[in-house]
Amino acid sequence: MIPDNVSEFLRELQGNGKPLELKKHTEDGEILYVSLRHFHSPLSELGKAGTSLRSSAAYIINLYAEGLDGTTPVGHNDWLIENGTATNRINLHGITTPTNYREALSKERWEDSLAVLPFCVDHRYQHQGLGTFLAATSLLLMENAGQDAISVSNPTKAGRAVWGKFGVDWKTTPLVSTHQLATHSLVEKTIREFIS
């Protein structure tokens, strides 16, 4: 069972891109925000010419840091929903239209990046638990949305380390039960650390 404050966190992530301020700050004291975009229609309708994506839905989770220098996109985790499975295989920022200022910054930061990965934390913000937070949030969202399994394609070394914290080795287990991962003790612990 999801604790009340974690359930409230999930309810507040409405899927419309509205940023939600987190209680935890970066090591430099910057305020962290998380937002969620949920696309209900097949993503092929949203794609650029020549992009072939067939999915029933998609999720983009963005993470931002805000300090004296303004707002900085610091991480994201993008998911396609295909036949009951949440797949983390493509960066979706280049094929969606931003709905607010922060999303525009995130699109600019991630769409043409050399690291066009579906799951990424800016190297300047690594080792602060942000990747683990993005993964934990993703797991609860996918479980809540009724996805049976998740699949991650070719995670980076840092991504493998994050998923490994949840007991997953993507080389030997490319498809994992969403419920199995969402009930891992690290999920609740990590989200509580960021929202309490």
In order of start, what are the domains of the chain with their CATH numbers? 4-195 (3.40.630.30)
Q: Tell whether the model's pLDDT for residue 50 goes beyond 60.
A: no
pLDDT of res. 41: 62
What does the alpha-carbon distance between residue 104 and residue 37 come to, in Å, rounded to a whole number?
Answer: 13
pLDDT of residue 43: 53
What separation in angstroms does the CA of 18 have from each of 12, 47, 100? Answer: 9, 22, 8
Q: What is the pLDDT of residue 169?
A: 78
Interval 140-173: pLDDT, tens: 999 988 889 998 877 788 888 998 898 887 777 6
- 10 Å Cβ neighbour count for 46? 16
Residue 2's pLDDT is 44
**pLDDT value at position 190?**
95
DSSP the chain: ---HHHHHHHHH--SB---EEEEEE-TT-PEEEEEEEEE-S-GGGTSPTT-----SEEEEEEEEEEETTEEEEEEEEEEEEETTEEEE-S--GGGS---SHHHHHHHHHHTT-S---SEEE-GGGTTSSHHHHHHHHHHHHHHHTT--EEEE-S--HHHHHHHHHTT--TTT-SEEEHHHHHTSHHHHHHHHHHH-
Residue 77 near residue 138, CB atoms below 8 Å: yes
pLDDT digits (tens, 9 = 90+) for 62-80: 999 999 889 999 999 998 8
| pLDDT above 70 (res 182) | yes
Mean pLDDT rounded to a whole number for the chain: 84
Tokens coding 163 = 């998923």
- Banded model confidence at residue 83, pLDDT cuts 50, 70, 90: confident
Average pLDDT estimate for 29-51: 71
pLDDT of 42 strictly over 90:
no
Dig out the tokens for 158 from the structure.
């840092």
Is 135:163 a contact under the CB 8 Å cutoff? yes
Q: Encode pLDDT of 92-148 as tens digits.
A: 887 788 889 999 999 889 886 545 688 889 999 999 999 999 999 999 999 988 889
pLDDT at position 131 is 95
Please check the confidence at residue 47 and state whether its pLDDT lies above 50.
Answer: no
Could you give the percent of the chain with pLDDT greater than 70? 87
Percent of the chain with pLDDT over 90: 41
Check whether 196 has a pLDDT greater than 80.
yes
